[in-house]
Amino acid sequence: MCMITDVSEQRHQEEFYHSFIQNISHELLTPLAAIAGHVANIKECSIEEVESWRHSQEIIEREVRRLTGLTSNLLLLSRLESGVPLRLELTNIGALVEEAVAGLLRLAQAKGIELSIQSPPRLPRIPADRARIKQVFINLLDNAVKYCPEGSEVQVRLRTDAEGIVVEVADNGPGIPEEDLPYIFEKMYRVEKEGTRAVEGSGLGLSIVKRIVELHGGQVAVESTVGKGTTFRISLPLADEPV
């Protein structure tokens, strides 16, 4: 029985590795192909074809941003998994949420999406790596704004419980199919659903969220109903000892 379990686990890891390599190769090659095509177009354009030049320039800039984001996420995930220590300090989680919301405000407004924060007037400070935890909120908000249709609402709700602080990022977007929920925190996993295929993304954002939260001794959970929306719940513990 033990041998069968070990072989099954090894096979699962091998399949996951091959799938990861295929996905990351696709995510790298797609923007590179677009860049190469538009560089060729620029070379062939006459100096009078200004609009064609501009169009190719915009595409190249967009794909460079996409590659930069993918590379940054890969490097961050690698650092997190290699055991780079967190820089813990007593942190105002509410302030980090406000900063993350402010950073996504322009993107949300462009789609007519309302971002709101619900929080008690005072929250206990908890030990956290400010940059890493802020990245958690940015990734969750970015996901919600990207996948929600125009005119949607995204709420960030903060509260305390017996263990620490709970942060929920809730939207009324398309939702995630039940069969996809067990896998959404895996590297490069993307929900292939009508209306979401055109959304650009590396498939690493939620893996980063999960890893950062777990490094803080916290937990991440998700609830979703297709057609009604999704709620991600982050639980972060209070300090066991002075930081």
Tokens of 191: 């929900």
In this structure, of 76-85, 151-160, 167-176, the range with the lowest mean pLDDT score is 76-85
Predicted pLDDT of residue 56 = 82
pLDDT more than 90, % of the chain:
51
Rounded to whole angstroms, how far apart are CA atoms 104 and 145? 8
In this predicted structure, what is the pLDDT of residue 243? 53
Least confident of 66-70, 95-99, 175-179: 66-70
Q: By the 8 A CB rule, do 173 and 144 touch?
A: yes
- Give the pLDDT of residue 10: 61
d(CA 87, CA 235): 19
Domain extent listing, the chain: 2-81, 88-237
Task: Provide the CATH number for the domain formed by 2-81 in this structure.
Answer: 1.10.287.130
Find the angle CA(216)-CA(189)-CA(167) to the nearest 5 degrees. 35
**Cα–Cα distance between 108 and 138 in angstroms, integer?**
12
Tell me the per-residue pLDDT of 21-66, one tens digit each, with 9 for 90 and over. 666 666 676 777 778 887 887 777 776 677 877 888 888 887 887 7
Give the pLDDT of residue 198. Answer: 47
d(CA 232, CA 171): 9
User: Which residue has better confidence, 233 or 204?
Assistant: 233
193-198 contacts at long range (C-beta below 8 A, 24 or more positions apart): 195/149, 196/147
| Matching residue, tokens 């991440």 | 220
**CA separation for the pair 239, 23 (Å, rounded):** 39
Instruction: Give me the mean pLDDT over the 209-230 stretch.
Output: 95
31: how many CB neighbours lie within 10 A of its CB?
A: 20
Average pLDDT over residues 115-124: 94
**What's the pLDDT at 166?**
97
Radius of gyration of the chain (CA): 20
Contact 208, 139 (CB under 8 A): yes
Decide which of 202 and 91 is more confident. Answer: 91
Cα–Cα dist 164/239, whole Å: 9
Q: Model's pTM, two decimal places?
A: 0.76
- Taking alpha carbons only, the member of 145, 137, 66, 158 closest to residue 105 is 145
More confident site: 217 or 61: 217
Domain 88-237 has CATH 3.30.565.10: yes
* 2-81 shares its CATH topology with 88-237: no
Residue with tokens 């959304």: 199
Percentage of the chain lying above the pLDDT 70 cut? 81
CA distances in angstroms from 86 to 75, 207, 213, 243, listed in the order given: 16, 17, 11, 12
